């Protein structure tokens, strides 16, 4: 009987790191994908091994390297591979008026094409398993200042639902759409507070909330094709303009 294992893309930093470490806590060995964050990956791998789980760092540049080889290597090193977490992401904000082909190609390749193809190769490599795609609660909106990024994430949400149909019942495929949890380092405290004002629960999220969501999706074998918004209700805040909120 092989130890269950998970391939976590972007597992060395930010949310990917939290998912990788939480999976290790749950008894998974970790195939830790990394691109440029090798130093951080070594630190994460060390911590996972100290928890008693195996961890292998698997380098792969999603703009140039073969994705099939990444999955094949993960499966070879961890025969119990049965979870894929697509957490790696590319983000470069720009409205449509300032978007060029290079921005579209990079963000769509990392945020949509890679999770799609990894899901395909994962389905070929395992008999049964789960895929969890990390999306973004912005998919509930049409925020054109993030055109290429947001369009790629909206497509990822649709791909999640589509793949869940195609690969059922062997695979369960779901998504998590985080809200204000780990804001970019350039965001000011005033900006974050302003964002919190628009969240019905009036609080910033924590990575532990996303880990809880991941555990739920892993454990509930009657859930597939869902995108779970973990955002304090922010994505529901689409009341719109009407007579009762008209400023007079």
pLDDT digit string, tens, across residues 83-118: 999 999 999 999 999 999 999 999 999 999 999 999
Chain position carrying tokens 């977490």: 85
Tell me what pLDDT residue 37 has.
81
How many angstroms separate the Cα of 97 from the Cα of each of 19, 90, 140, 142, 157? 35, 19, 21, 15, 24
Q: Which domains does the chain have, with CATH numbers?
A: 5-230 (3.40.50.720)
Place of tokens 């964002």: 195
pLDDT for 248 equals: 67
Q: pLDDT for 224-239, tens place per residue?
A: 999 999 999 999 987 7
Give the helix/strand (H/E) hosting 172. Answer: strand 171-178
Assign 220 a pLDDT band (cuts: 50, 70, 90).
very high
If residue 213 lies in a helix (H) or strand (E), which one and from where to where?
Answer: helix 207-219
Specify the 3-state DSSP secondary structure of 220: coil
Burial 205-224 (b: 16+ CB within 10 A, else e): bebebbbebbeebbeeeeeb
pLDDT at residue 242, as a whole number: 66
pLDDT digits over 156-198, tens only?
Answer: 999 999 999 999 999 999 999 999 998 877 788 888 898 898 8
Cα 85 to Cα 20: distance, rounded to the nearest angstrom: 9
pTM summary value: 0.94
pLDDT at position 187 is 80
Angle between helices 101-108 and 147-167 (to 10 degrees): 30
Helix/strand/coil for 46: helix
Question: Tens digit of pLDDT for each residue in 123-155?
Answer: 999 999 999 999 999 999 999 999 999 999 999
Q: Is the pLDDT of residue 72 over 80?
A: yes
Per-residue confidence (pLDDT) for residue 186, from 0 to 100: 76
- Residue 243: per-residue pLDDT: 67
How does strand 129-134 pair with strand 81-86?
parallel
Q: Does residue 75 contact residue 126 with C-beta atoms inside 8 Å?
A: yes
173-197: b (≥16 Cβ within 10 Å) or e: bbbbbbbbbbeeeeeeeeeeeeebe
Nearest alpha carbon to residue 130 among 172, 168, 67: 172
């Amino acid at each position: 009987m092989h130890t269950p294992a998970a391939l976590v893309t972007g597992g060395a930093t930010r949310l990917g790191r939290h998912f990788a470490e939480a999976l290790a806590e749950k008894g998974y060995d970790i195939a830790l994908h990394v691109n440029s964050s090798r130093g951080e990956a070594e630190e994460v791998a060390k911590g996972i091994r100290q928890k008693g789980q195996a961890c292998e760092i698997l380098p792969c540049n999603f703009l140039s390297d073969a994705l099939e080889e990444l999955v094949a290597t993960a499966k070879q090193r961890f025969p119990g591979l049965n979870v894929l977490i697509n957490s790696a992401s590319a983000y470069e904000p720009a409205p449509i008026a300032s978007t060029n082909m290079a921005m579209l190609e990079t963000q769509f390749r990392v945020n949509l094409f890679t999770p799609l193809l990894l899901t395909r190769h994962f389905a070929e490599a395992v008999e049964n398993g789960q895929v969890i795609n990390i999306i973004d609660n912005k998919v509930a909106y049409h925020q054109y200042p993030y055109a290429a990024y947001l369009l790629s994430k909206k497509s990822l949400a649709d791909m999640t639902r589509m793949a869940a149909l195609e690969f059922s019942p062997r695979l369960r495929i779901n998504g998590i759409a985080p809200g204000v949890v780990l804001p970019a380092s350039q965001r000011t405290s005033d900006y974050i507070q302003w964002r919190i004002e628009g969240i019905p629960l009036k609080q910033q999220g924590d990575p532990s909330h996303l880990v809880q969501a991941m555990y739920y999706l892993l454990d509930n074998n009657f859930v597939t094709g869902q995108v779970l918004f973990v955002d304090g209700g922010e994505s529901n805040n689409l009341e719109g303009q009407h007579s009762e909120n008209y400023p007079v």
